[in-house]
Structure 1
Amino acid sequence: MSRKNLSFNKKILPDYKFNSKIISKFINLLMLKGKKTLARYIVYKSLDIFFNKINNFDILNFEKNVIEKVKPIIEVKSRKIGGSKYSIPVEISINRANTLAIRWIINSARKRLENKFMFIKLSNEYIDILNNKGFSLKKRDEIHKIAESNKAFTHYKL
């Protein structure tokens, strides 16, 4: 019998403005120190700026174009076999891919030095992702390159 604790997937309620679970996940991952109203303000303001800069764009296109571009397909996990560690490429579930994409977008927006306000940084990151320039896209490509280079170790199962 496994010693690991069983994990339960918590159901995320959709946000009240766009009725989207991905935006709700975005708000939850952006939140620091339990300040959810501030995180909501930042996400909604960044989306408003983004939708105003790019015409004919709505929330469904945002989820398809921006988040789908950043989603990774493969992740690298390390495993110790025979005294040496191997990096094994593993396919990712949809929930994990969404979480990683959102986390990378938020972290790359936080690292931007161009402006003081987070909502402007986030909206600029969305625009860079549409133009295939963002730091989060570089992160995804980097992980895919690592997985490609360790393709030989796929026969080791996790």
Structure 2
Amino acid sequence: MRKSRAKNRQVIPDPKFKNELVSKFVNNLMVDGKKSLAYSIFYGAIEIVEQRTNEDGVEVFKTALNNVVPAVEVKSRRVGGATFQVPTEVKPKRKEGLGIRWMIRYAKSRNGKSMREKLAAEIMAAAKGEGGAVKKKEDTHRMAEANKAFSHFRF
């Protein structure tokens, strides 16, 4: 190993819910350094979720994120001229990051009015175990299952 590992940075909890996970999500949602806009989109989405489900919005968000995080993924590995898709377990930090990115990507690709409504719809769908981000997780797991035969090529 040539370089030292990157240090894990401390994330400051968000101002409203005092939650680090919310803060990480907002940091990923942010575009062009517009953090206050990202916060207003997220808080607006949580309000919409609370109105439609009559439950605590942050709890629904946590449930949704837990339904999206993958347990295994496939990584490409070259062995003797052939490239194999090798299933590997996902580290906890990466799980969280992947889940957050997938939720934001599929919220953006939804067709709706505003980003608040799209994000709220994706959060509610993911909490129920449906939606694009959950489908992405299931596809990833299916791919890993299909390539289980190559798991002896682990890194």
Counterpart check, 1:124 vs 2:121: yes
Q: Which has the higher helix share?
A: 2
Counterpart check, 1:144 vs 2:141: yes
Measure, in 1, the Cα distance between the counterparts of 2:42 and 2:112: 18
Measure, in 2, the Cα distance between the counterparts of 1:73 and 1:56: 27
CA shift, 1:119, in A, is: 0.5
Equivalent positions of 1:39-50 (< 5 A) are 39-50=38-49
Unaligned runs of 5+ in 2: none
Match for 1:77 among 71, 75, 78? Answer: 75
Measure, in 1, the Cα distance between the counterparts of 2:140 and 2:152: 19
CA shift, 1:52, in A, is: 1.4
The equivalent residue for 2:5 is 6
The equivalent residue for 1:51 is 50
The equivalent residue for 2:29 is 30
2:49·2:57 contact (CA, 8 Å) conserved in 1? no
The equivalent residue for 1:110 is 108
Unaligned runs of 5+ in 1: none
Range 23-32 or range 121-130, more displaced = 121-130
Give every structure 1 segment of 4 or more consecutive aligned residues whose post-TM-superposition deviation is greater than 6 Å. none
2:64·2:128 contact (CA, 8 Å) conserved in 1? no
Counterpart check, 1:88 vs 2:86: yes
- TM-score, normalization: structure 1? 0.92
Output the aligned Cα RMSD.
Answer: 1.3
2:73·2:88 contact (CA, 8 Å) conserved in 1? yes
Paired residues, number: 155
Secondary structure of the residue that 1:76 maps to in structure 2?
A: strand
Measure, in 1, the Cα distance between the counterparts of 2:60 and 2:118: 20
- TM-score, normalization: structure 2? 0.94
Match for 1:66 among 40, 64, 67? Answer: 64
Identity of aligned residues (%): 37
Secondary structure of the residue that 1:155 maps to in structure 2?
A: helix
Measure, in 1, the Cα distance between the counterparts of 2:126 and 2:51: 16
